[in-house]
Structure 1
Amino acid sequence: MFERMAELAIRRSRLVLIVAVLAVALMGVVGAGAFGKLKGGGFDDPASPSTRAAEVIGDKFGGETNLVLLVRSPEGRIDTPASAETGRDLVADLKKDERLGNIVSYWETDNPDLRSKDGREAMVLAHVRGDTTEQRKNSIEILDTYSGTYKDALTVRAGGGAAVGADVSNQVFEDLILAEAIAIPLTLILLMIVFGSVVAALLPLVIAIIAIIGSFAQLFLFGSITDVADTATNLTTALGLGLGIDYALLMVSRFREQLTAGASVDDAVRRTVHTAGRTVAFSAATVAAALAALLVFPHYFLRSMGFTGVGVVVIAALSTLFVMPALLKVLGHRVNSGRLPWAKPQRSDAGTPLWGRLARTVMRRPVFTALPVLAVLLFAASPLLNISFGTPDERVLPKDAESRQVSQVLRQNFGGSEDSALHIVIGQSVAEAPLASYAGQLAALQGVERVETSTGTYTAGQSTATGPANPALGRPDAQRISVMSGLTPKSEAAESLVKRVRSVTPPPGSHPLVGGNDAVLVDAKESIAAKLPLAGALIVLTTFLLLFLFTGSVVQPLRALVLNLISLGATLGVMTWIFDDGNLSSLLGFTAQPMEMTMTVLMFCIAFGLSMDYEVFVTSRIKELHDQGADNETAVVDGLGHTGRIVSAAAVLLAVSFFAFGTAKLSFMQMFGLGSGLAILIDAIAVRGVLVPAAMRLLGRSAWYAPGFLRTFHGRYGLSEGGPEPTPAPGPAAATPAHPENSTRV
C-alpha cells in the first residue's frame, strides 16, 4: 500500500495536487454552512429520567421554563401603578410572540415569589419553543428584541437555560476566532525556527489548513444527519491544526534527512512514505481509536466529538499521505529554499545530540533518573483524590455575561430560584387526595422551601393555601409539581435532595419523573460512570492491538499504557488543582467549580490519543534500528537522538494550538485547551525523554517479547516499518549532502 502511495506521488504528483486543490475548494464551499448545522448543549443522557421528564413536560405542558426575564423599575418598586402597567404591556407583547409559551409573570399572579425581596425587581417566566437548534436561534432573537430598556420605563435582562445557551454559543464562536488568530501565526513562527527554511515551514501549515477546511466540511455533513455540538468546531480546528502540522513535520523532516544522506528525490520520497508515512498511518489509527471510544456515551456532545474527531484525524492523515509526498516530489531540493539566518547545515545523520545524551544518561542510571520524574508526576496527580464533578451552568461564562448576572440575582434576591427547582411530572391522571399527600411528603423533606401543585402550595409538609394555587400545573391526563429549595444548585446537598425526592412513595399507580438542573447532574454522573468501563476497555484493547501490530511485542503496548496513564493522571490532577480547587482563578479569569464531566472525559480521550501519537513517533524509529540489528541500548539512544527534536518540536507546535484556547472566556474551554496542551508537553518531555528510555533499560531484551504464536501472527499480519532502504546514487552524491548551501538542520 505504501509503495503504491509513493509511486503515485512520484509519477502523478501534479495530478494529485490538482485533485487536492479541487477537493479543498469543494470542502470550503460545503464547510461554509457548518455553523448553521450545529447545536448547543448535548451534555444530557437522552434516556435519563431528567431528560424524559423534560420531554413529558414539553408534550403535556408546553415545556419547562427556560427563559427568565428579570424586570427592574428605576422608580424604586416594581408594583407601583406605572411600573405595573408597563409590566403588563411587556407580558402582553411576549404572549404575542409565537416563539414563546407558558408565560407567567408577577403582575398576573401576584405571586410574591416572583418579586424580589427588596421589591425592585420581578420575574417573567417563559419557555422558548423549538428543538435545540431552534431554541438557540429563537433565544438570540428574543434577547435582541426584549433585553435592555422597555418603553423607557423598565430595564429587562435575560437569564435561564435558553439565555445561558445563547451566550455560550456566541462565546464559542468568539473564542474560536481568537484562538486561531493566536495559534496560526505563532505556529508559523515556530515552524520557521524549527526548519530554518521558509518553504519547509510552510508545508506543514498547508496540510493543517487542508485539515481545518476539511473539518468544517465534515461538520456540515455530520450536522445534516445527526446532532453535533457547536463546541466541536473548537476541537476539530485544534486537532486539524495540530495533527496536520505534526504529521507533515515528520514527513518533511524524514525527506530532508534522506536528501542530506545523498538519496535522489524519488528515492527520498519512497523512503519517506515507507517510514514516516507508515508511522503517520499508525499514529492516526491510535488517535482515532481513542476518540472512537467517545461513541459509547449517549450524550451527543461526546458522541459528536467522537465521530468529528475521528473524521479530522482521517483527513489530516490522508492529506499527509497523499498531498505531502506529491509536494515533496514537485519541490525536490527546493524544500530547503528560503534559508533563514540562524539555520545551520543539516548533518547526514540528522540526529540530535541533546536527546541522544539524555537517553544514554537515563539508560545508564534508569532508577536514579526515573524516580524523581515519577515522584513529580504522582504528586501532580494527587489532587485527583478530592476531585468533584459537575455539569455546565452559567458559571462557565465570564462574569460580565448578562445571563450569568441574572442567575446570581435570582439566587440572592428571590425566594427559591428556578435554577434550584426540581420539576416532577406524572404522565397520567392523579386524584386530588393522593396528589396532595405526595406533595406534603415532598414539602416535609429537609432543604425544601415549598412545593407547588395544582392542588395548592405546601411548606413544611402542610398546605398553605386552599384551592388550586396554579391550575396550569394540572391536566386531566398529567400533573406537574415544582419543588423549590434554597440549596446551592449542583451542591452535594442538592444532589442528595434529588435522591430523596425520587425515594418518596408516589401516588398509587403513578410513575413520577424528576427533572431540573440538579436531577440532570445526578443522571449525568450515573450515565457516564456506567459507560466509562466500556470506553476504557475499548481504548486499552484497540491501543494494545495497534501497538502489537506495529512492534510485534506484547510488552511495548503494556509499557506504553502504563506510562500514558501516569502522565494523564498528572495532567488531570493539575487541572483539578486549577479549576476545581480554584487556584489561578484570578489570573485566568474563571469561577472555580467542579470539573465538567463530559469535558474531562473528552480531554482524557484526546490526550490519551495524542500521547500514543508520540509513542508511535518514538517507538517506530527505535524498532527500525532494532530490526536492523542494533542492541537495545543503541536502538533507544539513536532512536531518541533521531526523533527527539522532531517529537519535541511537534509537541510544542501541537500544544500551541491547544494552549491558544486558554484565552477562551468559557471556563470549560480553558480547561480543555490548557489540559490538552499540558498533557502533550508532559508526555513529550518527561515520558518520552526520561521514562521511556528508563523503562526500556529496565526491561532489557524482554521489551520486545511476544509468545511464539504471536510472533508468527505478527510476521504474517504485522505492519511495522518495513520497506527497502533505497540505495543512494553512486559517486560523490552518496557522501555529500545535496545542495548543502540550502540545507538546514532539523
Structure 2
Amino acid sequence: MMGISAAVSILTAVLVSIVVLPSILGMIGHKIAPTKKKVSNKEKREENPVIFIATIMLIGMIGFALTKTSLFWEIGVSSSLNMILKGVFVVIIVLPILFSLFRYTRSSLKKQDATKDKNKGKDNSNAWGRLVTKHPLVVSFISIAILVVIALPFFHMNLRLPTEGTSKSTETTERRAYDLLTEGYGEGIHSSLVVVAKASKLTDKTPDALNSITQDLQKLSDVKMVTPAIPGPSGKVYMINVVPNSGPDDIKTKKLVKLIRDKSDQTEKEYGIELMVTGTTAMNIDISQKLNDALPVFASLIVGLAYILLVLVFRSILLPLKAVLGFLLSLGATLGFVVYVIQDGHLLNLFGFPASSSILAFLPVILIGILFRLAMDYEIFLVSKMREVYVHTGDPRKAILDGIRDSGKVVTAAGLIMMSVFIGFR
C-alpha cells in the first residue's frame, strides 16, 4: 500500500514539473504584439494559469478521499502536500526569483521573437492548425467517431484484484503451481468461499437446519462442492466451505457471492441462522465493488468542480463544457482500449501481458485522477494562449492558429514525456 502511495506521489511531482513549468516558460517566452484594438481594463488583467492548474490538481487529488479506502486517502494527502510544496513554493516563488537573477525575462527573448516573425511566412509547422480551422466539422466528426469506437469495450469492463494466475508470467513457479492446481482441481480451487453460519439461538433443530442450508447451497448455480458445517467452540457459529466452478476473477463467482448473501434473509426467517460470506475471494470482490461504486461519485465531483473553475478562467459556458466532454470521451477511450487489450486478450504479446484477465480494481480511480489533471491542465495552457491572442486582436482564427503554434508544441512535447514516464513503470 505504501509503495503504491509513494509511487503516485512521485508521479505527481513529475506531473507538476512537466505540466506547470511549461506554462511558466510559455508566459515568459511568448509576447503578444501590441495592437490598435481597444482593450478594457478587465481584459487587460491577465489570468495566471498556474494557479488554476494547481487548483485543478488539488481537486483531482482530494477526490481520492471519496473512495473511502485508506490507500487512496494516503495517495490524496501525500500528493496534495507534494503538489503544494513543489507547485506553489517552487514554481510560483523559486522559479521567478531564479529567472530574475539570471535576467531571464521577455526582453532577453526579443531577438528570438524577431527571428520568429521573419520566418513566420516560411513556417510550415502549423499545418495541423490550418487543417483544423479549414475543416472543423470534418475533423471533429472523425476524431469523435474514432474515440467512440475505441471506447465501446469499456461497457463490459470487469474489475478485480491481482491473483497468481493473472499477474505472474508462465515462467514463474507461482504461476506454474497455479496452473497445475487448476488442471487438477479446476478454477474453483482458487476461489473457495468461507460461509459463516451464525445461529441466534441453539435448539435441537439447529443441526438439521444447517444440513438443510448446506444442501440448498449445493443446489446453487456454479457451486462445485460444499463441505459439512464445522461448529465453533460456542456452538452458535459454524463454518462452511463453498467451492465454485468458476475462478476468482469470473463474473459467475461474483454472482454466487451475491446469491449466498441474499439467501441469508431466507435462512434467518426460517431457521434463525444468518449467513455471512468471507475469505480472500469474497474480500477481493467487495473491495472491487466498493471502488466501482465510488467511481461515479469521484468522477462527477472532480468534473463538476473543474467545470466551475474553467468557467471562471475562460468566462465562457461552452468552452468548459467542451473540455469536460472531451475529457470524458478520452477517458472512455482509454479504459475501452485497456479492456480491449487486457480483458479481451487482444495484442497481449505486443504489450507484454502474460495472459488476459479482468481489469485491476485500482486502475480506473488512479487513471481518472491522472488523466483528469493532464487533460484539464493542458486545456488551460492551450486555451489561455488562444484567449490572450483573441483579447488583443479580436480575430478568433488567428487566436486558434497562434495557440496551436505556440502552445501546441509544448503540450505535445509534455504529453510525449509523460508517455515515456508511464512506459518506465513497466
Q: Shorter-normalised TM-score: what interval?
A: 0.7 to 0.9
Query: How far apart, CA to CA, are the structure 2 residues paired with 1:521 and 1:554?
Result: 42
Please give the root-mean-square deviation of Cα atoms over the aligned residues, in Å.
Answer: 3.0
Counting only pairs closer than 5 Å after superposition, residues 41-120 of structure 1 correspond to structure 2 as none
Q: Distance in 1 between matches of 2:290 and 2:283?
A: 10
After superposition, residues 493-504 of structure 1 pair within 5 angstroms as: 493-504=252-263
Structure 2: distance between partners of 1:248 and 1:350: 22
1:346 aligns with 2:116: no
Aligned partner letter, 2:150: A
- Sort the Cα spacing of 1:423 and 1:615 in 2 relative to 1 into closer, same or farther, 3 A: same
Match of 1:248 among 21, 41, 51: 21
Give the 3 Å change call, closer, same or farther, for CA 311–444 of structure 1 in structure 2: same
Equivalence for 2:282: 519
Deviations 1:377-414 (A, max 9, x none): 22222322443332322222333444333333332234
What is the aligned counterpart of 2:394 among 620, 630, 652? 630
Aligned position for 1:452: 227
* Structure 2 counterpart of 1:315: 85
Aligned residue in 2 for 1:660: 424
- Output the amino acid matched with 2:278: G
- Counting only pairs closer than 5 Å after superposition, residues 207-286 of structure 1 correspond to structure 2 as 229-257=2-30, 278-286=48-56
SS at the partner of 1:628? helix
Indicate yes or no: 2:251 matched with 1:492: yes
Q: CA deviation at 1:334?
A: 11
Q: How does 1:163-242 map to 2 (within 5 A)?
A: 229-242=2-15
* Residues 416/630 of structure 1: CA separation in 2 closer, same or farther (3 Å cut): closer
Structure 1 residue 387 corresponds to structure 2 residue 157:
yes
User: In the alignment, is the contact (CA less than 8 A) between 1:454 and 1:474 conserved in 2?
Assistant: no
Q: 1: distance between equivalents of 2:93 and 2:115?
A: 26
Mapped contact 2:28–2:105 kept (Cα < 8 A): no
- CA drift of 1:543 comes to 0.6
Q: Shift of the alpha carbon at 1:514?
A: 0.6
Aligned-pair CA distance for 1:333: 4.8
Amino acid at match of 2:316: S
User: In structure 1, what is the Cα distance between the partners aligned to 2:114 and 2:6?
Assistant: 42
Alignment partner of 1:434 is 2:217: no
1:560-606 CA-to-partner distances (Å, cap 9, x unmatched) read: 11122222222222212211112221233322111223212221231
Give the match's secondary structure for 2:3.
coil
State the Cα distance separating 1:496 from its structure 2 match. Answer: 2.4
Partners of 1:557 and 1:627 lie apart in 2 by 18
Q: Using a 3 Å threshold, how does the CA distance of structure 1 residues 530 and 618 change in structure 2: closer, same or farther? A: same
In the alignment, the residues of structure 2 paired with residue 286 and residue 361 of structure 1 have an alpha-carbon distance, to the nearest angstrom, of 31
- Say if 2:344 and 2:356, in contact at 8 Å, map to a contact too: yes
**C-alpha contact 1:487 1:494 (8 A) present in aligned 2:** yes
Aligned 8 A contact 1:425 1:481 in 2:
yes
Post-superposition offset of 1:503? 3.1
Distance 2:384 2:133 in 1: 19
Q: Report Cα offsets for 1:354-380 as digits up to 9, x if no partner.
A: 564432332232113322222222222
Instruction: Determine the C-alpha separation between the residues in 2 that align with 1:415 and 1:380.
Output: 34
Residue in 2 aligned with 1:325? 96
Q: Write out per-residue CA displacement over residues 68-110 of structure 1, whole angstroms, 9 at most, x where no aligned residue.
A: xxxxxxxxxxxxxxxxxxxxxxxxxxxxxxxxxxxxxxxxxxx
Structure 1 residues 534, 447: closer, same or farther in 2, change over 3 A? closer
Shift of the 474–496 alpha-carbon distance from structure 1 to 2, 3 Å rule, reads farther
Mind listing any 5+ residue stretches in structure 1 that lack a counterpart? 1-38, 40-228, 262-273, 338-344, 456-470, 665-746
Contact 1:490–1:517 (8 Å) recurs in 2: no
Matches within 5 A, 1:334-413: 346-348=112-114, 353-354=123-124, 356-394=126-164, 395-413=166-184
Aligned partners of 1:366 and 1:349: how far apart in 2? 30
Match of 2:358 in 1: 594
Q: Measure, in 2, the Cα distance between the counterparts of 1:492 and 1:305.
A: 29
Query: Which of residues 372, 376, 395 is equivalent to 1:612?
Result: 376
Question: How many Å separate the matches in 2 of 1:655 and 1:349?
Answer: 32
Q: Structure 1 pair 450/568, CA: closer, same or farther in 2 (3 Å)?
A: closer
Query: How far apart are 1:501 and its partner, in Å?
Result: 2.0
Distance 1:597 1:400, change over 3 A: same
How far does residue 253 in structure 1 lie from its aligned partner after superposition?
4.2
Tell me the secondary structure at the aligned position of residue 151 of structure 2: helix
Shift of 1:416: 7.7
CA distance in 1 between counterparts of 2:10 and 2:407 reads 26
Q: Find the counterpart in structure 1 of residue 348 from structure 2.
A: 585
Structure 1 CA distance, aligned partners of 2:209 and 2:76?
A: 46
Q: Residues of 1 paired with 2:104 and 2:292: CA distance? A: 54
Matches within 5 A, 1:21-60: 39=1
Q: Do the aligned residues in 2 keep the contact of 1:257 with 1:350 (CA within 8 Å)?
A: no
The answer (yes or no) to whether the contact 2:214–2:229 under 8 Å persists in 1 is no
Indicate the residue corresponding to 1:555 in structure 2: 318
Q: Say which is worse superposed, 427-436 or 438-447, in terms of deviation.
A: 427-436
Q: Which moved more, 1:362-371 or 1:299-308?
A: 299-308
Match of 1:467 in 2: none
Deviations 1:621-651 (A, max 9, x none): 1122223342222222222222122211222
Q: Secondary structure at the match of 1:488?
A: coil
Q: Is the alpha carbon distance of 1:376 and 1:414 closer, same or farther for their aligned partners in structure 2, counting shifts above 3 Å? A: closer
- Residue among 622, 629, 640 paired with 2:404: 640
Q: Which residue of 2 aligns with 1:482?
A: 241
Q: In 2, distance between residues paired with 1:297 and 1:478?
A: 33
**Inter-partner Cα distance in structure 2 for 1:537 and 1:574:** 22
Q: Which residue of 1 aligns with 2:295?
A: 532
Q: Which moved more, 1:615-624 or 1:641-650?
A: 641-650
Q: Secondary structure at the match of 2:227?
A: strand
Whether contact under 8 Å (1:381, 1:571) holds in the other structure is: yes
Whether the 8 Å contact between 1:242 and 1:653 is mirrored in structure 2 is no
How many angstroms apart in 2 are the aligned matches of 1:545 and 1:329?
Answer: 34
Once residues 356 and 173 of structure 2 are traced to their aligned partners in structure 1, the CA distance between those partners, rounded to angstroms, is 19
C-alpha separation between the residues in 2 aligned to 1:653 and 1:234?
17
Alpha-carbon distance in structure 1 between the residues aligned to 2:179 and 2:64: 34
| Separation of aligned partners in 2, 1:275 and 1:513 | 61
Q: How does 1:675-694 map to 2 (within 5 A)?
A: none
2:39 matched residue in structure 1: none
Instruction: Give the superposition deviation at 1:546.
Output: 0.8
Deviations 1:142-198 (A, max 9, x none): xxxxxxxxxxxxxxxxxxxxxxxxxxxxxxxxxxxxxxxxxxxxxxxxxxxxxxxxx
Aligned to 2:40: none
Give the match's secondary structure for 1:231: helix
Of structures 1 and 2, the one with the larger relative CO (CA 8 A, separation 6+) is 2
Distance 2:30 2:390 in 1: 19
> In the alignment, residue 540 of structure 1 is paired with which amino acid?
V
**Conserved? CA contact 2:190–2:247, under 8 Å:** no
1:740 alignment counterpart: none
Give the aligned residue type for 2:311: F
TM-score, length basis structure 2: 0.82
| Structure 2 residue 351 is matched with structure 1 residue 573 | no
Unaligned 5+ segments in structure 2 are 34-44
- Answer yes or no: is the 8 Å Cα contact 1:257–1:348 preserved in 2: no
Summarize the Cα distance change of 1:449–1:573 in structure 2 as closer, same or farther, 3 Å threshold.
closer
SS in 2 for 1:449: strand
C-alpha distance in structure 2 between counterparts of 1:307 and 1:405, whole Å: 39
The separation in 2 between residues aligned to 1:232 and 1:401, in whole angstroms, is 27
Larger Rg: 1
